[in-house]
Amino acid sequence: MPPQHLSLAILGLDPARSASARDLINLATRTGYRGVQIDATYPGLRPRELDRSARRDLAALCSRSGLAISGVDCFIPPRHLLAGQHQDRAMHALIAALELSADLARLGNGDAGIVSCELPTGIQSEIVDAIEAACDRFEVQVADHATTQPTHPLHVGIDPAACLEAGNDPVRSAASLGERLVSTRLSDRDESGRVLPVVEEGRLDLLAYRVALVSAGYGRPLVVDLRGVPDALLRCGQIPEAWDDLPLIPMM
């Protein structure tokens, strides 16, 4: 089976946020990625900053660059979605990201209709219902990347580095999620912190992880997540070449 395509996440790529969104998209092209994951909190990519014309321009830029948009990240603090003073603002941000993903999908990036986020343990059923209703209205999906076992009916995502940090096995998690799994990250960590996946040695059993994704029927891009990786902006280009050198996974 051909290797899954890699998509570069803008989230965490430039912690100083000194590079423009356009520069980061162009970086993904130059370094060999086939997709890009939009960060709805990054300057120039926030939904409130993108009117209809700007959304068309963003979709066109990615298309001209040969990049598919693999989805939209909206990683607001999970606790803000619990009852409290931040809840309304957090829900507004998440729903705005859902609408942005729907617009990008309609503009020719069909895979863009997934918003990755992290939902808190103990989230109110009313909030889940509101998220589900928004997904239905915009015809998109939420991928909950929480490392706890979800108790809601929404779709889920997986971040290996976050799983490892929480003491979970990302391979077992990926294999158990089946059709609920709609977004996956490519990330890794060692005992000290996050490392450059594929290139540096971490704790993720990469072969077993890839096999688990194939077994689960996952065929979407893998989102390269470099949050917390030192010098990620300078080193992200090492990953596609190392990934292409990996052996193919046989058909299951």
Per-10-residue mean pLDDT, the chain, length 252: 79 96 97 97 97 97 95 96 91 98 91 95 94 97 93 95 96 92 97 97 96 91 97 97 87 54
| Model pLDDT, residue 251 | 57
Closest of 88, 74, 83, 80 to residue 117, by C-alpha: 74
Beta strands in 112-219 (DSSP E): 114-117, 141-144, 155-158, 181-186, 188-189, 194-195
Secondary element (H or E) of residue 36: strand 35-39
**CATH class of the domain whose range is 6-244:** alpha beta
Question: If 0-12 CB within 10 Å is exposed, 13-18 middle and 19+ buried, where does residue 18 land?
Answer: exposed
- pLDDT (0 to 100) of residue 38: 98
pLDDT score at 85: 86
* Residue that has been written with the tokens 């998440």 in this structure: 94
Judged by DSSP in three states, 216 sits in coil
Give the pLDDT confidence score for residue 110 in this predicted structure.
74
Structure tokens at 16: 């100083």
Q: What values do phi and psi take at 148, rounded to 5?
A: -85, 160
The full length of the chain comes to: 252
| pLDDT the model gives residue 1 | 41
pTM: 0.95
Comparing CA positions, the residue from 246, 252, 204, 202 lying closest to residue 3 is 246
Q: Among residues 97, 10, 110, 100, which one has the least CA distance to residue 63?
A: 110
CA 157 to centroid of chain Cα atoms: 8
List the structure tokens of 219: 């065929």
DSSP states along 53-112: HHHHHHHHHHHHTT-EEEEEE----GGGGSSSTTHHHHHHHHHHHHHHHHHHHHTT-GGG
pLDDT value at residue 89: 95
Tokens of 52: 């209809």
